[in-house]
Structures are given as structure tokens and as C-alpha cells.
Structure 1
Amino acid sequence: MEPRISIHVIGGNSRSRAEQSRMILAMGHHAEVYADLVELVDCPPRSGVIIASDDVLEDGIANLLEELADAGIWLPLVAAKADPSVEEVVAVIQAGALDFLRLPLEEDELLRMIRHVHSDAGRHAEARRRLIDARRRIGALSKREREVLDWLSEGCSNKAIARNLEISPRTVEIHRANMMGKLGARHAADAVRLRLEAGWDDYRPDDEAPQMPATRRAPY
């Protein structure tokens, strides 16, 4: 039997939460249920794993992870949904969830998830911390500073960035210095690393993020 863990079930209707709770308890683990995110944040869990479903996922996993981070909750997050598409599962995992479960919950799937938690939870929580931190830093950049960062990640020099953005090299230098300062980056490689940790190719803080060319040059 797997070591006992606490599983926090949030979202969905009362019947779904009750069914998940009964299965978790029957398998020898501890279950806590919450109707919504407000209930979870009011009594933040400090150990275990969170299973989130339905309405809690409506704003997307990335936003949910940020709300949990704001509340100081860094537990692994597992999304749950009836009949998810392959695209939905991939998007959720890329956004930072540890796993994806199909509802109604089945015992073998729950056991697989618990084993995943035991093997990867610590590494996953640290990766989440880095992801949230990187997204917050990059989210503080202006549109032009983000454009400079994107072109810098393509391996472009200041002169090449200036040509691509149709501004002067001196203006690029100013935006680059401001960008580096906001990111707390000492070198270009540090800035590029933060962009990668943020999952920048899949994550855009707003609709004005720059469009990059299809052909990429090697990054730093």
C-alpha cells in the first residue's frame, strides 16, 4: 500500500466531491473537500495534493496556480474532468499541473496519481515556484521590453533587435537595461532562462505579446 497522504478535493458538485472522498478514504488516504477556492484559501492545506475540477478550472490552470501561490499554497495540483481531450490534457500539464484525472474517478487512476505524487511532488513544487516567479517578473515588463527579451532569446544582437523593431540601437540598449533590471538578471542568459522557465512560448500576459518568426535561431 502507498504511504498515506492527504488529498484535497475542490470544485464540482457535492455528489462528485462525495464520490471522490469515499474512494480516497476506502484506499486508506485522508480526504478533505471544499466547495470552491474560497473555502480552500480560508483553511489552506500544508501537505498532500489538490484535485481541482469543473468551475475551479474555468479561468485556466495558470490563473489557478497563481491564486494558490498568492495564498502561499504550493501543493501539487491535479486537474480532473469528464472526457477531456488530448489537447486539454497537454495544455493543463504544460501550464503547471502535476497530473490530469478523468471523472468519474477510478481506483487505478487515483493510485497512479498517488504514485506520481510520491515520486515527483518535491521536484514539481520547486518547478512551480520557479514558474510563478518567472511569470511574475516577466509580467512586470513593458510591451517593448518583452519584445526585446523575445528577440534576445532568438540570439539577436542589439543591432539586429533594433532592425527587427525598427528602433535605434541606443533605444534597444535602454529597453534591454530596464528589462534586465526588472528581471534581476545579471547576464542575457539569466533573462533567457527566466523566459524559458515561464513557458513563455505558451504563456502570454496579454494580447499584445510580440509575434516571433517561424524560423528560430539558436538561443544563448
Structure 2
Amino acid sequence: MSNTPIVYVVDDDVGVRKALSFLLVSAGLNVRLYDSAKSFLDEVQDPGRCCIVTDVRMPGVDGLEFIRRLHSRGLNVPVVVMTGHADIPLAVEAMKAGAIDFLEKPFREDRFLEVVRFALVCDEKSVRKNQELLRTQARLQSLSQRERQVLDGLVAGKANKMIAHELNISIRTVEIHRSNVMSKMEAKSLSELIRMALFLEVATGN
């Protein structure tokens, strides 16, 4: 799949789809159009780098349910919902469900493009974070059981002497394991090693 980001416009109004498509293409962005949330969900398995622009009110699967179904599939992509004035409470509900922003109709073209570009930047950051998480997890899995125990001790703020005592090994052995951990995790300093471990804890909820 291409690394070029895509803006998916999901709206049952053909006029809205065409107008937004023209605007986005004129701004140099790649666009794909869908007339319903169901058609998107049926066709798109891996949306890649993207953001989704959708109406909060659509027949069948509305914008709020669309977001929930995306999340249930593990597709945590940035979603921008469009709404009429009377539907602002529903748009707020959509943001609570995970939408990144909402646009109240009628909206200015420059405001629309600003929100879309922000959503694409957020997705890029999310992709990079996921890639970093996978790399860090792979390094962590390369540690032996004893090296992992030493790492846990370091993250807990324990000195080598205390770790050695708790694991019933020599301080020199702790130092060797610590050096191996630093090398395998590709950490240049103890602080960087601890940041990696804490990043994993927060990202995985462990």
C-alpha cells in the first residue's frame, strides 16, 4: 500500500461528496469517496495512513456508530465529523467516542482543510508511535528472563546492590546483565532505557 495519506469522505449526500472531493483534490490530497459507513466498512480492511471525514447523521450506520465500529476493528484512525447546528450534541458525543474534531455546517473551505491536515498529522504521529512501540517490544522480547528481571529492578529505581541481593546473584553479574540490557534495547543511557520501559507500560497498559 502507498505511503501517501488518503482522505476518506463518507457521506450519503452525493453533492457533499463531490464538493469535498473537488476541494481536497485541488489542495493536492488523495481522496476516496463512500456513500455510507457500511460501504466503507465492507470494502476497506486496511485504510493505511489516512483520516476519515463523515457526516454525523447518515441512514443506517450513523457517524457515531461508524466510529464505534472502526474502533471495534482496531482501526483507530482520525475521524472528523460534520454536523448541522441541531446535531452539535451528537457531534460532541462522537468526539467522546473518539472523533478528533467536528465541523459545523456550513464551514469555510480553509477551516475544512485546516482540520483535515491536522487529522493527517495526528495519524502520522500515531503511525510513528506504533512503529516505535513494535520495535521496542521486539527488543524487550530479545531479553533473557534474568535480563528482564534486572531491567525491572532498574525501572523500579533499585541500585545494582539491591538487585543483586533480591536475585541472589553477584553485583558483577548484575552489571553484566545491565550492560546486555542496554545493548539489546539500544539505549544510550539509563534514563533512555527507563523511558523505553515506561513507554511500553503506558502503551500496553501493563
Q: TM-score, structure 2 length as denominator?
A: 0.50
Of the two, which has the highest radius of gyration? 2
Q: Between Structure 1 and Structure 2, which shows a larger proportion of helix residues?
A: 2
